[in-house]
A and B are shown apart, each in its own frame.
Chain A
């Protein structure tokens, strides 16, 4: 098992090198004139040259890449071209914001999806139709509209929560919760639709199997059949969907962070990409690759625990 984990992590490290190298050279190829943008429209040639020199952009591209890779091994990912903030510090200050929202959204997604999926599979009939309709509508309903509606009701009209901004939990837990509850609800909508459909389908499959009939014939309670047997066996594919959802929500976080003006990973990455802030882009790429590698590894390990047949030798 340890060898397997190390092999996967090693492959992940190779992936990190490949993806960051591609990012580095693609961004350079795009040729965003960072110094011009920093200096503004009235800048002189000398000012532009001085900024290029200050940022190290006047050096050969390969040399710049070697510098970045060298820094990577010492934990120094450079500084933002635009804010001068160390990349590691910049990411450390923004990731908790996105993580708070994404994790809360995942909890909401999981709870509601399990409830809807299990209920739809167990009851079928009109309830199933209603739940499927809700899931379908939520899948196509634009989150941005929902966000605007929720802000209008809960922030502007009822004044229950703030309309924008983020409060760290270290400052105040209730305020932290207030600042992430609406974004998390908005972010969870699409996930609920896909995950509940996945759980419903898997549950229907499981409930049609022979061992369920056997359990019923032995007088095992319906609750136990649903939650201890069918749901556990149906949870493998659902867990995979759930895990992939975690990764995709990091990307989807961009629009909720914009609506709610949250200083998180999404808006940070978007701004850096538009500006051509390469050190920040590389740092975020590095994080994204690590996230994918680790989540996929955990998915495989947990899937093996849930279903011994899925374990690798």
Chain B
């Protein structure tokens, strides 16, 4: 049987050789020269269509790197000049006038002037992904090569933030609406897409645009972005140095990254976990039309207990829809609905629902952690919850159709109170287009307020939401981040809002 022994050895040698050859490489070390810095990021969601007017969602890091906008948001959420070196709003916020920075061009060499900006915004106004976001615009004009004037039908406080968002991408005029720009986007941003190093939906490689007007602020010559579906794979990639940065959901994971090798920290609040009480007309669940019932639901939810036991370290109890780091947030409003079952029962009785009522809610991947607890706490005031399992891919359509009177959702903060408030009044979050004269008046006032006074005006809208219990917010979610020692990370107010969040440690 010498022969089989030889065969065994041959097999072992073959495998060992494979490992040995593979081991000649090992994970790549980070480049040391400042001029050749590479940043490797982990991004959660695959990026969709990259063309102007068609970016339908996902992490905006890639499109923001490729496309500049009239204005951008800094890591703190403040509006910063970009293609426009300055801008001003008319007294009632219906005319925005932008002064275009001289000497800019797109990465394919096309001139970036006022006419190019107008062409992109017009494309976005009819783009399937951006038309609603720019719906308040009535006209976009370029009276001269360095001026863009945007007029709106009604004041729109969120418009300046929409122009800093994917709805405001400015792309090369010759490619607007073309098939080519869907996968080979041309903008004037700090980076250009390296097609050779990109596998759509899996990995993206960005190379620094030397002609970018503010190129000095972007130290990385190359940015590699990996889309990794498996959380364990993300952690492994971090541990082996294949990526420099990752957002991790569970704070307990921080212990896996020793302080000597990694930097970890708490992200800013990224999303609101909320029981959406959308059926304010009582179409599906008649009881929800009564504000006392909605207030009772808010009082019946033990937010502190949920935060402590279900989302330890990553969820902070809140009764407000706006971000705790935004200007519209009012800490005192979080005490309005302190857990009080007796008061909740009393309100239910006042509303004529002393015996409670039944409600069907969707159970999704977003809600499973909370389903049992929410059902139990609502049962304490007589509300019987029946869960219907809904695959996430079917959820939006069902919500949009108004299939449920209330449901659990995690909605990401955008970095703008105005946008966050308008978003929760749209689409699936407001299928009945609920509104009241009081709310309309508050929104009108906020929309007409100058940028520096919008915080106070939006705080009034936020207070209305709380007082009228339009929602039952539960917790504000924030995970942890981990980076290599080569990177200094400043947590931004919204995920992917700015590449300036990443800087070399030195």
Contact = CB atoms under 8 A, between A and B. Distances in A.
Partners in one complex: yes
Interface of A: 32-33, 36-44, 46-48, 50-51, 53-54, 80, 82-85, 90, 93-94, 104, 108, 111-112, 114-115, 118-119, 122-123, 148, 151, 154-156, 159-165, 172, 174-175, 177-179, 181, 185, 222-223, 226-227, 258-261, 263, 267-268, 271, 274-276
Contacts of A177: 18, 21-22
B394 A155 contact: no
Contacts of B27: 155, 159, 162-163
Given A119-B7, A165-B242, 6 more contacts: A41-B428, A84-B54, A94-B199, A156-B239, A160-B26, A162-B27
Contact of A164 (B22, B49, B233): B233
Contacts of B202: 263
A80 B199 CA distance: 14
B48 A39 contact: no
Interface stretch (B125-133, B307-315, B333-341): B125-133
A179 B25 CA distance: 10
A38 B242 contact: no
B208 to A, nearest CB: 21
Contacts of A122: 1, 4
Most buried by A among B7, B25, B226, B411: B25
Given A42-B429, A46-B131, A227-B3, A258 B25 contact: no
Given A83-B200, A163-B240, A174 B24 contact: yes
Interface string B179-207: 10011000000000000000111110000
B427 A44 contact: yes
Nearest to A93: B199
B396 interface: yes
Nearest to A179: B22
Contacts of B409: 41
Interface string B398-430: 011000000001010000000000010011110
B226 A164 contact: yes
Given A155-B240, A156-B239, A164-B233, A39 B128 contact: yes
B393 interface: yes
A84 B232 CA distance: 29
A118 B427 CA distance: 66
Q: Which 7 A-B pairs have the closest CB atoms?
A: A263-B202, A33-B397, A178-B22, A163-B236, A50-B128, A84-B182, A160-B23
B128 A54 contact: yes
Interface residues of B, number: 65
Contacts of A275: 393
A44 B11 CA distance: 61
B57 A40 contact: yes
Nearest to A158: B23
Contacts of B237: 163-165, 261
A42 B4 contact: no
A151 B236 contact: yes
A151 to B, nearest CB: 6
B388 interface: no
A43 B22 contact: no
Given A108-B15, A155-B236, A163-B242, A39 B25 contact: no
B195 to A, nearest CB: 11
Most buried by A among B203, B230, B233: B233
Contacts of B25: 161-162, 172, 174-175, 178
B129 A115 contact: no
Contacts of B199: 93-94, 263
Contacts of B240: 155-156, 159, 162-164
B393 A164 contact: no
B10 interface: yes
A55 to B, nearest CB: 9
A154 to B, nearest CB: 7
24 contacts: A33-B396, A36-B397, A36-B400, A41-B428, A42-B427, A42-B428, A46-B132, A47-B128, A83-B48, A83-B200, A111-B11, A114-B7, A115-B4, A155-B27, A159-B27, A160-B26, A164-B226, A164-B228, A165-B203, A223-B3, A258-B229, A259-B230, A260-B233, A271-B46
B225 to A, nearest CB: 12
Interface of B: 1, 3-4, 7-8, 10-11, 14-15, 18-19, 21-27, 46-51, 54, 56-57, 128-129, 131-132, 135, 179, 182-183, 199-203, 226, 228-230, 232-234, 236-237, 239-240, 242, 393-394, 396-397, 399-400, 409, 411, 423, 426-429
B276 to A, nearest CB: 10
B495 to A, nearest CB: 15
A227 B4 CA distance: 10
Contact of B131 (A40, A50, A111, A172): A50
B230 A41 contact: no
B233 A47 contact: no
A119 B18 contact: no
Nearest to A44: B132
A64 to B, nearest CB: 18
A107 to B, nearest CB: 8
Contacts of B229: 258, 261, 267, 271
Contacts of A267: 229
Nearest to A94: B199
A181 B18 contact: yes
B48 A43 contact: no
A90 B46 CA distance: 14
Nearest to B2: A223
Contacts of B426: 42-44
Contacts of B57: 38-40
A158 B18 CA distance: 15
Nearest to B423: A42
Contacts of B11: 111-112, 115
Contacts of A163: 27, 233, 236-237, 239-240, 242
Contacts of A226: 3-4
A264 to B, nearest CB: 9
Contacts of A108: 15
B171 to A, nearest CB: 15
A38 B25 CA distance: 40
Contacts of A156: 236, 239-240
A276 B400 CA distance: 18
